[in-house]
Amino acid sequence: DVKVTQSSRYLVKRTGEKVFLECVQDMDHENMFWYRQDPGLGLRLIYFSYDVKMKEKGDIPEGYSVSREKKERFSLILESASTNQTSMYLCASSPGLRAAGYTFGSGTRLTVV
């Protein structure tokens, strides 16, 4: 019963390409998040959204943007992919500001060559 779905499991893109990572949740959650996961660095927050059309920068937003046109969908955009953006990208959602825990997607492993 997958509840947070990331559109691609593996992705290979060329330097300079515009890359879209899609995340869809079917739990009617208000909050959605994008993290990148790198060995030894844990989970670092890129962007998050508390509502439709709302977005906030996380800790490492440089080189990324996001879009949330519908409540269930949160897209991460790499405007011009670079090799240092090669990483595992995890999407997560939660039901409210003070609610418990996140539900994560399975992740997208992006390689930029």
Q: How far is the CB of 84 from another protein (least distance, A)?
A: 19
- What does the DSSP 8-state code read for residue 54? -
Exposed, middle or buried by CB within 10 Å (0-12, 13-18, 19+), for 11?
middle
The span of 16-24, 62-70, 77-85, 97-105 binding another protein (CB under 8 A) equals 97-105
Kindly report the number of other CB atoms within 10 A of residue 104's CB atom. 17
Q: Are 104 and 45 in contact (CB under 8 A)?
A: no
102 binds another protein (CB under 8 A): yes
Among 14, 28, 84, 97, binds another protein (CB under 8 A): 97
Q: Which is nearer to another protein, 68 or 105 (CB)?
A: 105
14 binds another protein (CB under 8 A): no
